[in-house]
Amino acid sequence: MALALRCLRPLPSLLHRSLFPRTRALPGTPPGCPALLLEGCRQCVPQVLLSRQLATKKAKGKGQSQAKVNISAALVEDIINLEEINEDMQAVIEALKEDFSRNISIRTSPGALDHITVMTKDGKFPLNQLGQISQKSPQLLVVNMASFPESTAAAMKAIRESGMNLNPEVDGTVIRVPVPKVTREHRENLAKLAKQSTNKSKEALRKVRSKSINQIKKSKSKVSEDTIWLLEKQIQQMADEAVAEMDKLLAAKTKELLG
């Protein structure tokens, strides 16, 4: 029994070494540095450049997710501006939110007409800059064009062609806009528009991602293939997170429209 116990004593340390993979420091990395740094970094930084458990490109086994890459933007700014990419992706999301709020809504309010653009002889202007918009009843909006009477006909045309299924009527410089009652068919059409708008936003997001990855590939002569792969993975993660947020927005909007 004593002999068996002595043989088992080394097992914990062996198991520890086999369960946790080693990290390999790159040239110029200080001894004992816990971070896996990109090529060219010569010292440790407060922010860990990369935090991952040597994940392979394809996760093994069902339900096993890949480890996330988290690259410090400051340490790769000479290759690509990750913060700028994130801002571009967030701008696409904000544009989708704005579209949902302005164009795809069943609520009737004076603000529903604000976004309509009117083409005049002096250029394009938002309707709310040319006329005073007010709500007379839940089913009637009124646009007073007294300040710019010469643009009344153009405003009428813009309202009619806004895609909001409106049929305005003019009385001098006053435009009356009857708002139709919301039917189930109208709600379903709005839900389809919301999905179409989301798909367009996803396409815009893919363009941001593709442009960024093409920029990274131009640096192949200066950095290692591993660095290129890690940066591409980081950008793909950012895009995936943005798509997930768009899907949540669409689900919420669809629920609002269809109940």
Domain with CATH 3.30.1360.40 in the chain: 108-178
Q: Are 147 and 132 in contact (CB under 8 A)?
A: yes
Low-confidence ranges of the chain (pLDDT < 50): 1-64
Class level of CATH domain 73-103+183-258: mainly alpha
Taking CA atoms, 142 is separated from 36, 69, 117, 168, in Å, by 64, 54, 16, 9
> What residue type is 71 in one-letter code?
I
Direct distance between the N- and C-terminal alpha carbons of the chain, in angstroms, rounded to an integer: 71
Q: What is the pLDDT of residue 107?
A: 61
Nearest to 235 by CA among 111, 105, 79, 117: 79
pLDDT at site 80: 80
How far apart are the C-alpha atoms of 65 and 67, rounded to whole Å?
7
Q: Tens digits of per-residue pLDDT, 14-35? A: 444 433 334 344 444 444 443 3
* Residue ranges of the chain assigned to CATH 1.10.132.20: 73-103+183-258
Positive or negative, the CA dihedral 233, 238, 242, 247 is: positive
Query: 10 Å Cβ neighbour count for 118?
Result: 24
Q: Could you please report the per-residue DSSP string of 18-43?
A: HHS----PPTTPPTT--S-PPTT--S
Question: Which CATH topology does 108-178 take?
Answer: Gyrase A; domain 2 (3.30.1360)
Residue 1 C-alpha from the chain's centroid: 64
Q: Token pair of 131, please?
A: 């006329």
Beta bridge partners of 124: 119
